[in-house]
Amino acid sequence: MCGMSRRLIAILAVAAGVAVANLYYAQPLLPMIAATWGLSARAVASMVTFAQMGYAVGLLLVVPLGDKLERRRLILTMLGLVTFALLAIAAARNPVWLMIASFAMGVTTITPQLVVPFAAHLAGARQRGRVVGSVMSGLLVGILVARTVSGALGAWLGWRAVYVVAAGLMLVLAALLARELPRSEPESTGLSYYALLLSLAQLLRDEPILRASSFYGGMSFAAFSAFWNVLPFLLTGKPYLYGTAVIGLFGLIGATGITVAPLAGRMADRGHAVAVIGAGLAISLAGYTLLWALPMHLPALIAGIVIIDFGITSNQISNQWRIYSIRPEARNRINTVYMVSYFVAGSLGSYLGAWGWTAGGWSGYCYVAAAFITVALVVFAIASQSRYRKHQRS
């Protein structure tokens, strides 16, 4: 694919998936972690919120360096740092320690957001959607399988062991990437670090595509992030009464959603990215509606998870295709703006989802999730109508 071997694409996909998994190991473990210190569901959900906030900070302060520093070395450095953060979580002796370590883990778990623009940089314009789709498939597999792995391992060895194993995986991944990744010098090396950060606001101001994609992606992820934080508490209660290992298996159900990633990439390459974004939002809303209507019916719950994952994957691939098509020399910074929006919204979703669960149970959560998607769809419809009117006038 335009200078990229299938082996390199596969390695980048594996790297994205294994690295991003760090952010999601906690979700099926939340009831177990809560029991360690007698925390409420809302309090223990702060672990995920702190990790996502840290991730947003890492995206803001570290990822832009991919437009200034040699990218291979930067990736390896971050893998080394996140190893220490994961071990700190495993060694946590109180909730404050746990939250601080989770934040540090989030800051240093930004390798996936260095890898994806790395792949977009190496790919040609005609294949960019397919290459990004392939790498994003690996990333999404990592997100979903992380929950299954951590649930099973946590049930067997305890939640702390999950983070020790994760630290070991980071070392193995670093060794693989040190051997396989080519050097990748940035296109523009003259900007100071301060200028790089300042340019983030300029990009957001100057690029309407970036603003729109950041909003749609953020609203979608806010609902999605809240879902995986609240789901373990639904599944540990009646009528399910599932343990941690079984809860983790629900991540595999969602993994079916990754099958849409290559299709979404091909549709974007053919010029249909905007339509796929709208369809992805609508599909997600249908999934949350099903979950609200039939939460105690296992087949409906499974179908809802699959539908939601189809929707968010379609949305994500198409949004990233659009943003990587502008300003090639600034792809890391553009990705920073997009993903900071994505995970700030995810942090808000985690908090409001837990609030909705506390205030109104499963229905309270579903109202929160549906509100995020509905707002995105309303904005999308208004923007689509505006584009249509401009087209008619021209």
pLDDT in tens, 279-301: 889 999 998 899 888 878 888 88
DSSP 110: -
pLDDT value of residue 1: 43
Using left for φ > 0, alpha for ψ between -120 and 50, and beta otherwise, residue 129 falls in: alpha
- Cβ(314)–Cβ(258) under 8 Å? no
CA distance 111 to 354: 28
Indicate whether 75 pLDDT > 90: yes
Residues contacting 209, CB < 8 A, separation 6+: 322, 323, 325, 326
Q: Looking at the chain, list the stretches that DSSP marks H as alpha helix, in order from N- to C-terminal side.
A: 6-20, 30-37, 41-44, 46-61, 71-90, 95-108, 112-122, 128-157, 159-180, 193-206, 208-236, 244-254, 260-269, 273-293, 298-324, 331-393
CATH class of 6-181+189-393: mainly alpha
d(CA 99, CA 102): 5
Whether pLDDT at 172 is above 90: yes
**Amino acid, single-letter form, for residue 53:** M
Query: What mean pLDDT comes out for the span 131-136?
Result: 74
- Asked whether residue 2 carries a pLDDT value surpassing 50, the answer given is no
Q: Alpha helices, DSSP H only, in 207-272?
A: 208-236, 244-254, 260-269
Our CA angle for 313, 316, 320, nearest 5°, is: 145
| pLDDT greater than 90 at residue 91 | yes
Judged on CB neighbours under 10 Å (0-12, 13-18, 19+), 386 is exposed
Mean pLDDT, range 158-174, rounded to an integer: 95
Q: So where are the chain's domains?
A: 6-181+189-393
Diameter of the chain measured on Cα atoms: 65
Q: What is the pLDDT of residues 177-214, one digit of tens each?
A: 999 888 877 765 567 888 888 888 888 888 999 999 99
Check if the beta carbon of residue 362 is closer than 8 Å to that of residue 295: yes
Q: Which of 36-45, 120-129, 216-225, 353-362 has the lowest mean pLDDT?
A: 120-129
Pick from 116-130, 209-223, 330-344: least confident: 116-130
SS3 of 154-209: HHHHCHHHHHHHHHHHHHHHHHHHHHHCCCCCCCCCCCCHHHHHHHHHHHHHHCHH
Q: Is the pLDDT of residue 265 over 80?
A: no
Distance of CA 161 to the CA centre of its chain: 23
Q: What is the pLDDT of residue 123?
A: 64
Q: Which of 2-16, 80-94, 175-189 has the highest mean pLDDT?
A: 80-94
